[in-house]
């Protein structure tokens, strides 16, 4: 976490220099100080969350999940809109916005970890075992998807992996996956049809409702990913973002241009959030990008070891679920930056510029450390037992 946070400060300072100069009349350090403040708050949240006994999270999981559902409904209809999607709600007193989907992910994985740990005897049964764990996942994904389809897909994929590890029947997972593939295939077919129909479809789709506009955006992104473009110069176009990211990666080469020497940051939209990985590669080269990738994989490896050592099912499932969602989100962000996935709105955990996503990521890491602390205490107790006691018990 410290390695990623240090990388974040360097790259956020570099990628926001021009924006800060424009917005704050020459003061280019504003966003750097904000990122340092977010990192300090994040470290406090990690420390606080890791001091709490992880079994307490099992007790509050149901309450937190029940609070999340009306928040998602409120966000869907009355939230702050950006790019035709309602993803944020504004807190009235402190006048700050946060993404309810971040809270929903945390609450959902705590809740299904609790249900999985309690349903292991009936987990193979469709009604008693499968439905109680899949219905919360479906509900949360349906509420998130209209405004943030990419996050809903990531939550669904993480949940499916967790259910597979939780010994859910393969046929039940395959059935769920087949149903989920139907709307995805419809998006792909719509993108193919729109590409062959041409600009007439786009012209007819301008005066649409917000939901219809979001569907049009999804279709356009899939179309752009499948067919590319002819060198778009529109900064709002997804192809423009992808092309600028490719330029940044090409300029970076193997060892990069050096810290603070990015040139594409002045042209690439959102270089401090969605496309920060392209700036990392431009400044630190493929080697720097590979180091970031290895850090996330090391984080996942440590979490898997923790899962294997944890003696209780809830802690094991909780640590694995939270680590899966962070690493899968990181992989999705990096894949978008190198044009392996269509453009999405997901950030690079702990590296993109601070916000509600950064703070909820820190809480998730604190919960993982809480489980880890208990496992370490358990191992120390076992090692400190008298050698003769094991013989007597045997």
pLDDT single digits (tens) 102-116: 899 999 999 999 999
Structure tokens at 145: 């998807």
Q: How far is CA 209 from the centre of its chain?
A: 27
Say which residue the tokens 């241009």 belong to: 257
Q: Does residue 263 have a pLDDT over 50?
A: yes
pLDDT at 225: 73
Per-residue model confidence as pLDDT tens digits over 315-357: 889 999 999 999 999 999 999 999 888 888 788 999 998 778 8
**Tokens coding 213:** 């506009």
Q: How far is CA 154 from the centre of its chain?
A: 7
Q: What are phi and psi of 91, to 5 degrees?
A: -80, 125
Average pLDDT on 358-379 reads: 88
| Residue 147, pLDDT above cutoff 90 | no
333: helix, strand or coil: helix
286-305: per-residue pLDDT in tens? Answer: 999 999 999 999 999 998 88
Q: pLDDT grade, residue 374 (50/70/90)?
A: confident
CA distance 104 to 156: 12
**Number of residues that this document lists for the chain:** 394
- Provide the token pair at 265: 């940051």
**Of 138 and 79, the one with more pLDDT:** 138
Higher pLDDT pick, 19 / 218: 19
More confident residue, 96 or 150: 150
Question: In the chain, at which residue ranges do the beta strands (DSSP E only) sit?
Answer: 80-82, 85-91, 96-99
Nearest partner of 319 among 359, 376, 358, 277, judged by Cα: 376
| Structural contact between residues 173 and 160, judged by C-beta atoms closer than 8 angstroms | yes
Asked if residue 184 has pLDDT above 90, the reply is: no
What are residue 174's phi and psi, to 5 degrees?
-65, -40
Structure-model confidence comparison of residues 42 and 387, the more confident one: 42
**Residue 209 in this model has a pLDDT that exceeds 60:** no
């Amino acid at each position: 976490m410290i390695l990623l946070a240090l990388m974040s400060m360097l790259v956020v300072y570099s990628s926001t220099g021009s924006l800060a100069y424009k917005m704050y009349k020459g003061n280019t350090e504003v966003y750097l100080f904000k990122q340092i403040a977010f990192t300090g708050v994040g470290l406090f949240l990690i420390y606080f969350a890791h001091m709490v006994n992880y079994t307490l999270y099992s007790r509050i999981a149901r309450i937190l999940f029940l609070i999340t559902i009306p928040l998602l409904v409120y966000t869907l209809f009355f939230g702050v809109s950006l790019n035709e999607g309602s993803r944020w709600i504004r807190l009235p007193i402190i006048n700050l916005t946060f993404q309810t989907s971040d809270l929903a992910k945390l609450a959902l994985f705590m809740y299904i970890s609790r249900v999985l740990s309690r349903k292991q005897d009936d987990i193979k049964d469709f009604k008693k075992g499968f439905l109680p764990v899949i219905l919360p996942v479906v509900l949360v994904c349906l509420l998130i998807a209209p405004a943030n389809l990419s996050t809903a897909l990531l939550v669904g994929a993480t949940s499916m992996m967790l259910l597979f590890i939780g010994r859910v029947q393969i046929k039940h997972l395959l059935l769920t996956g087949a149903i989920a593939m139907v709307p995805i295939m419809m998006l792909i077919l719509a993108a193919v049809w729109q590409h062959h129909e041409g600009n007439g479809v786009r012209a007819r789709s301008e005066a649409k409702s917000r939901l219809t506009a979001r569907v049009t955006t999804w279709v356009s992104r899939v179309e752009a990913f499948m067919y590319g473009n002819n060198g778009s110069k529109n900064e709002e176009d997804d192809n423009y973002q992808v092309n600028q990211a490719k330029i940044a990666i090409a300029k970076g080469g193997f060892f990069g241009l050096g810290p603070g020497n990015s040139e594409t940051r002045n042209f690439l939209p959102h270089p401090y959030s969605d496309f920060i990985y392209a700036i990392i590669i431009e400044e630190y080269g493929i080697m720097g990008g590979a180091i970031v990738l290895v850090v996330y994989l090391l984080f996942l490896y440590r979490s898997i070891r923790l899962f294997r050592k944890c003696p209780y099912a809830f802690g094991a499932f909780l640590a694995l679920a939270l680590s899966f969602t962070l690493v899968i989100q990181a992989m999705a962000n990096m894949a978008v930056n190198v044009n392996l996935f269509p453009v999405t709105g997901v950030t690079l955990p702990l590296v993109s510029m601070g916000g509600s996503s950064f703070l909820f990521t820190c809480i998730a890491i604190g919960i993982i450390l809480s489980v880890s602390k208990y496992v370490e205490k358990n191992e120390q107790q076992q090692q400190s037992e008298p050698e003769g006691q094991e013989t007597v018990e045997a």
